[in-house]
Amino acid sequence: MGTITQPQTGAKAAATLSNDEILRYSRHLIMPEVGMEGQLKLKNAKVLLIGTGGLGAPLGLYLAAAGVGKLGLVDFDVVDFTNLQRQVTFGTSDVGKFKSEAARERLSNLNPAIEIQAFETKLTSENALELFKDFDVIVDGTDNFPTRYLVNDACILLGKPNVYGSIFRFEGQATVFGMPDGPCYRCLYPEPPPPGLVPSCAEGGVLGVLPGIVGSIQAMETIKLLLGIGDSLAGRLLLFDALGMKFRELKLRKNPNCPMCGEHRTITKLIDYYEFCGVRGEEAPGPDVQVPEITPRELKSRLDRGDDLFILDVREPHEYQICNLKGHLIPLGELTRRVHELDSSREIVAHCRSGKRSAEAVDFLRKAGFRKILNLKGGILAWSDEVDPTVPKY
Amino acid sequence: MAVKVMIPTPLRAYAGKRDSAEFKAATVGEALSHLTTEFADLRKHLFTEDGKLRSFVNVYVNDEDIRYLAKENTPTKDGDTISIVPSIAGGCC
């Protein structure tokens, strides 16, 4: 399960390397596992990167360095200051630029001999098949469940390998889906978690170097596939625990009843993945919890007026150290156990960083019988925006 | 039958920040039951309200997915490792 066939497209396959290329890739060429033949396979290969962020950074850099002849970069996002902690393709001067374009510039500088096409577009069910069809390998460097299922399904429908990597805080997963007779993403996870249950990097945080490691693993697997060497991760789920510095491997079986790649496929076209993942309209900001709210300005007015409000902070201790509203700190994960610290006769305003965790806290407390409880809409971020800009945002 | 249950990062906040826990258990189901008894906050993340394992959480005994063994009735023996592997999606943002 380690090789792929490169499709014949209209363009003629390159048959030689220039002297410059021979010099540039000399460290590849002197290895019998690569040689001229292998380097030409790379030169004639076309790889599409979905996402040019944390995972996409090492992916783009190493695939460009290796001489993959055509790289497609799909990302609709703009470089943000907070990206620079981990998205190492970008520099400070790229803040505000489209990521796909900034990445294209950087990778072109690294290797002007390859073709790089930037797609400043959101990947959707309407454009995925068209986008994918001219590439040999698709690499999933995205950050949300709907897109991961979309990438998977499009790859299965088109018969393209999908080099998968995902991360969370200190852990990563990697494998290769979509190989002939191999499993697909739905074999591993038939359904996604409901929105809001697993925090994004923005909410949960991530060690910047983690996507660097997992993305590099994805680059390695892509190159192995293109060269047809080594043992691919197809059929294995690689788990990486950065804190313990442990790699573990689990068997990843093809599900014979998989609706996408099984013997009796029931999914024959791309679907609405946001609906599938339970997300309505624009990316849902968090759990679908309706709770009574108070805006930062309203809270400020009431505090200035001398109202007796109990401020409950449901963030983590290390966040409290960054900035706080002098609230009583009970991290959300400890609330069930520490609810006795709260006086239900007092009016409580719960807050977190952006308003999502505190919405869960308010929902829980209301179900526990608290009647005078409000969620601070937008959290301490909104407080900084609307009331007190000296409070740092993070 | 002492088995070690590995707790993945997304769930450690609900397990007293532990990355693993050991229990005596004859089956996977028993081990998970001990786990969610000791860490009650974990229960809703691993199981639905009617007690079924959530579909985006996979459980392995050593390196085998229990869906291909006997699911929660998969027997465990001394020294086995049970891994809980939830679906994660981070990568880009």
Counting one residue from A and one from B, how many pairs have CB atoms under 8 Å apart? 122
Please answer whether residues A302 and A325 qualify as being in contact, where contact means their C-beta atoms are separated by less than 8 angstroms.
no
Q: Please identify, among A215, A243, A276, the residue that sits at the C-terminal boundary of a domain.
A: A276
Q: Are residues A270 and A350 in the same domain?
A: no
A173:B64 CB<8 A? no
Find the CATH number of the domain harbouring A241: 3.40.50.720
B2-60 pLDDT per residue, tens = 999 999 888 888 898 898 999 999 999 999 999 999 998 888 888 988 888 988 899 99
**Structural domain boundaries enclosing A325:** 293-385
CATH dotted code for B2-86: 3.10.20.30
Catalytic residue of the set A201, A258, A261, A277: A201
- The yes-or-no answer on residue A277 being catalytic is no
What ipTM did this prediction achieve? 0.91
- The yes-or-no answer on residue A201 being catalytic is yes
B50-89 pLDDT per residue, tens = 888 988 899 999 999 999 999 999 999 999 999 999 898 8
Buried b or exposed e, range A167-201, using 16+ CB within 10 angstroms: bbbbbbbbbbbbbeebbbbbbbbbebbbbbbbbbb
Distance CA A77, CA A206 (A): 19
| pTM for the predicted model, two decimal places | 0.81
Distance CA A336, CA B14 (A): 10
The token pair at B4 is 């070690």
Q: Are residues A218 and A345 in the same domain?
A: no
Quick one: pLDDT at residue B93? 44
Quick one: pLDDT at residue A386? 93
Q: Please identify, among A248, A276, A304, the residue that sits at the C-terminal boundary of a domain.
A: A276
Neighbour tally for A336: CB within 10 Å: 13
A239:B85 CB<8 A? yes
Closest residue by Cα to residue A60 from A38, A82, A40, A89: A89
Quick one: pLDDT at residue A356? 87
Give chain B's radius of gyration (CA, Å): 13
Mutation to test the B interface, candidates A122, A198, A335, most B Cβ within 10 Å: A198
Query: Would residue A45 count as lying in a domain?
Result: yes
- Mean pLDDT per segment of 10 residues, for chain A of length 394 residues? 50 85 96 96 98 96 98 95 95 96 98 96 95 97 93 98 94 96 95 70 79 98 98 97 93 95 94 81 49 94 94 92 94 87 93 91 90 94 93 90
Q: Are residues A193 and A309 in the same domain?
A: no
A193:B9 CB<8 A? no
